[in-house]
């Protein structure tokens, strides 16, 4: 997944960064690996596509964290902005912030449903002139019945610090 994304980023002059627990094997996922791969592919692809042409930083960052009872992944991109009104609908079936007619508006809807079905969740945070983060939290095997941390969890900042 990251190999193809890397090629796309090079061709679009986007800096792709991966940080956090790079040794994480995701061996205790509660959802099937193909669903996990689909969720991450959708988020990373969307992050690359959403960077405005005039954005000077042109960066996509994947941050991986493995906690005692859950995984937390953040996909962040610079420059893009999703309004509060759009964020309220971002996971609705058929809704899209993209203008292309070929876009179905199903990617985030399906990703959100996969995560919820398997004991996780996803949220979106966006700040004008700074960028957008999609945060994925997944319980590890054996912890599915209790939600690791809901939206607004105070233990970890939602928007990763950006340094140049």
Structure confidence at residue 1 (pLDDT) = 64
CA distances from residue 4 to 20, 65, 106, 153 in whole angstroms, order as listed: 21, 23, 21, 33
* CATH architecture, domain 2-139: 2-Layer Sandwich (3.30)
Query: What are the residue boundaries of the structural domains of the chain, listed by start?
Result: 2-139
Query: Alpha-carbon torsion 13, 134, 94, 114, what sign?
Result: positive
Structure confidence at residue 156 (pLDDT) = 39
Structure confidence at residue 152 (pLDDT) = 46
Structure confidence at residue 39 (pLDDT) = 96
Strands 70-77 and 121-127 come out as unpaired
Q: Along the 164 residues of the chain, how does pLDDT read in single tens digits?
A: 667 888 888 989 999 999 999 999 999 999 999 999 999 999 999 999 999 989 999 999 999 999 999 999 999 999 899 999 999 999 999 898 887 656 778 999 999 999 999 999 999 999 998 999 999 999 998 765 544 455 444 343 333 343 33
What element of type H or E holds 141? none
């Amino acid at each position: 997944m990251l190999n193809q994304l890397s090629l796309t980023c090079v061709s679009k002059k986007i800096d792709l960064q991966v940080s956090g627990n790079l040794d994480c094997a995701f061996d205790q996922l509660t959802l099937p690996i193909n669903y996990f791969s689909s969720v991450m592919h959708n988020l990373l692809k969307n992050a690359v596509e959403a960077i405005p042409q005039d954005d000077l930083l042109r960066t996509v960052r994947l941050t991986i964290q493995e906690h005692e009872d859950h995984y937390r992944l953040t996909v962040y991109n610079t420059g893009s902005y999703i309004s509060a009104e759009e964020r309220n609908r971002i996971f609705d079936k058929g809704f899209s912030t993209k203008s292309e007619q070929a876009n179905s508006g199903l990617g985030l809807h399906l990703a959100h449903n996969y995560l919820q079905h398997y004991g996780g969740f996803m949220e979106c945070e966006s700040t004008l002139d700074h960028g957008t983060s999609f945060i994925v939290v997944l319980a590890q095997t054996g912890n599915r019945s209790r939600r690791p941390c809901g939206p607004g969890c105070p233990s970890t900042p939602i928007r990763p610090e950006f340094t140049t």
